[in-house]
Structure 1
C-alpha cells in the first residue's frame, strides 16, 4: 500500500471513529433524556389523574346530596336519579384514587380518610331517604338539621384539598423538570448535529481528495475488462477442447481394454471346450482303476477347473459391463441435445408402460399423479433419466409390503420439479450422495447392477442444466427429485450445437 493510500485510510478510520463516538454519545444522551422524560411524564400523568379523580369524587358526593335534598323537599322520586347514579360511581372513583396514590404513604392515608368520609356521608343520605320512603319525613329532616351531613362534606373538602395541594405542587415541579429536559435535549441535538456536520465535511474532503485516484483505478479496470471477454472466450474453447479430449480418451481406453478382454473371453471358451473333451476322455476310464495322480487329475477336471473357469467368466463379464458403462457415458457426453417442447405426462406414460409387466409381477403400482408441467428439453435424455429412476425404484422394492411408486411434478421459481417417490428399502443417510458416484452402490448388494444408473442420471440432468437430489429414510422409501429449467438457456443451446 502506498503512503498516500495509508494516510487516506488512517484519516478515514479517524473520521469513522469520531463519528461513531459522536453518534454513541448522542444515542446515550438521547436514551437518558427519553427515559427521564418518560419518568416525568408518568409522574405528571399520575398527578393530573389524581387531581381529576379528587374533583370527580367531590362532584359525585354533591350530586348525591342534591338528589337527597330534592327528594326530601318534594317527595318526587325523580330527584333520586342523581343520587343513585352518584352513589354507584363513588366506589369506582375511590378505587382509582387508591391506584394513583399507591407508593405514596401520605396520599394513601388521605384517600383512606376520604373513603371513610364518603361511606359515612352515603350512610347519612341513605338513612334519610329510607325514613322518607317509610313516611317518616319529619325524622328525616331532623337528621338533616343536625348538620352531620354538612360536617361530613366539609371534612371531605378539606381532605380533598390536602390531597390536591401537594399534587399541584408536584405537578408544577414535574413540569419544570420537563421543560429543563426539553432545553437539554435541544442543546444535545444542536451540538450533536454540529459535530456530525464536521465529520461529514471531513469525510467529503477525503472523498474529493481520493476521487482522482479512484478514477484512475477505474480506468485501469476498464482497460482490463475490455480484454476480459476475449480471454473468457479463449478459456472456454480450451475447456471445451479438454472435455472433448477426456471423452475421446475414455472412449479409446475403453476400446483398447475391450481387445484383451475379448481375447481372454475367447481363450476361456477354448479352455472350457478343451476341458469338456478332457472330462469326456476321463469318464471313459473306469474310476476304480485310477491311481492317486489320476484321481487327483479327475478331481481337478471335475471340480477345480470348472470353478476357476466360472470365476474367470464372471470377472470378464463384469469387466465387460463396466467397459460398456464407460463407453455409454463417453458417448452420451458427445451426443447433440435436441431441444423441443415435451409433454412429460405422455413421456412418463410410455416409460411406465414399458415396465408394466415387471411391476405387475412384483405387485407394484405405479401412479402418475395429477397434471404434469411441459418442459423444453431433450426427449431421449428425459426418457433415459426417468427410465433409470423407475427401474431403480422397482429393483429395490421392499418384499415385505406391496410396492407403490408415485410420480408427480410441479412448477417452482421458474423451474419444473419432478419427484419419483417409492416405498422401497430406503437409503442410509450416509449414502445419499454416494449413490450418484460411478460404480458406487448402497445397502445389501443382492440385486444385479454395476452402480452406473444414478451416475448416468446425474450426468444427463446436469447436461440439461438441472439437478437431482434424494431424500430417503431407511426402511420406509425414497424421493428422487429432479429440478429442470422451464426452458434451456442460450449456454445450453450453444453447448448442444458445439458438442
Structure 2
C-alpha cells in the first residue's frame, strides 16, 4: 500500500510518542522504586536501632546480675563495678528503648511491662547487696534462693528474645521489599527496551517503503518521452525536494531512534536532536497541502513538535538523570547493609592519616591544614567501614568549607566509656543550622545552600555504618562557625557481632 507524505508524518509522530510512553513508564517505575526503597531503608534502620537498644539493655541486666553474684560469692567490692555501671546506665537506656517503640501501642505496653520487670529485678539486686554490705549475708542468700529474682530475669530474657527476633524479621522483610522492587524495575526496563526496538523497526520499515516508492517514481520519470522533458524536469525537481524531506525523516528515525537500544538517556538526547529537524519541517509555511484534512494534521503536528514534545523530553531528561544517581546510591546502601562485617586488628592512627592524606592536597591548595591529635588505641573492627566513614566526613569538610577563610580540620581520637573509641572531626566550615542537626542524617535530606553535587545519602550512610559497628554519630555545629562530628563505636567488634 502506498505511503503518503501525511501518512509518513503521522507514523513518525506516532513512533516518537510510543518511544516517549516507554520512557515515561520506566521513569515512573524508577520513582516508585525510589519511594519503596526509601521506605524500606527507613524501616531497616528503625529495626536495627530497636535491636541495638534492646541488646544494650539486655547486657545491662546481665552485667548487674553478674556483679551481684560476684560480690555475694566473694564479698569483694571490686565485683560490684559491673553492677554499679549498669545501675547508672539503666534509666537512660530504658528511656531510649521506650522512646524507640512509642509509635507502636502494643510494643509500648510491652516496654512498660519490661521496665516494671527490670526495675523489680534491680530492686531485688540492691536489697541483696545492701544486706551483704550490712553483714547479713545469709539473709541476702535467702532472697536469692527464693527464686523471685531468677523468675524476673527469665521473664525479661523471654521478652528480649521475642523482641530481638521481631527486629531481625523486620530487617529481612525490608531487604526482601528492596529485592522485589529491583526485580520489577528490571522487567519494566526490559519491556520498555522491547517497545523501543519495535518503534525503531517500524520506523525503519516505513522509511524504507517510502524511499522505495520514490526510487520507483524516479525510474518512471527516466523512461518518459523526450517530448515530456519539461514535465520530467518538474517531476524531478519535485522528487528532489521530496527526497530531501525523506532524508530528514530517515535521520530522525535511523539516528535518533537507534539510541534507545544503548541506554535511556542516550535515547532522550537523540529525540531532542531529532526534534529540531521535525520542527524545521512542520514549521514551514510552504508545506504542500492537499486539503483541509492535511491542514488539520499539519497543525496538529506543529502543536506536537513545538509544545508537547519539548516539554515531555525536558521532563524525561531531568528525571532520568536524577533517578540514575539516586538509584545507584540506595543500591550501594542496600549492598552495604547486607555486607558481612569482618573484625580485624586495626591501627586507627594509620586509617586517620590515610583519610587525611586523601584530601590534604585540596586543603593545602585552599591554604588550610588538617591535624590529628590524641593516641588512639589498637582495636578490632571492620576496616572498610572505618575507611568509608572517615573518608566521607573529610570529603564533606572539604566540600562545605567557608569561602572566606582557610579550612582547618582537627581530628581528635581516644578511648571512651564502656570500652569504646571516640573520634571527633572538627572543621571551621560553613556550619549547620540547629534545626538541621538531625535532618542531615536522614536519607535524601540535605542542609543549607544546595550548591554542591550530591544526593543527600552520605551522612545517612555514615550513621548506618556507625551503628553497624556498635556506635553512633552526632553533630555539634553553629551556622557560620563550623561543625564537629562525634563518632563513637565499639573497640572490639567481635562482642557486638557475638551479641547480635
TM-score by length of 1: 0.49
Pair member with larger Rg: 1
TM-score by length of 2: 0.49
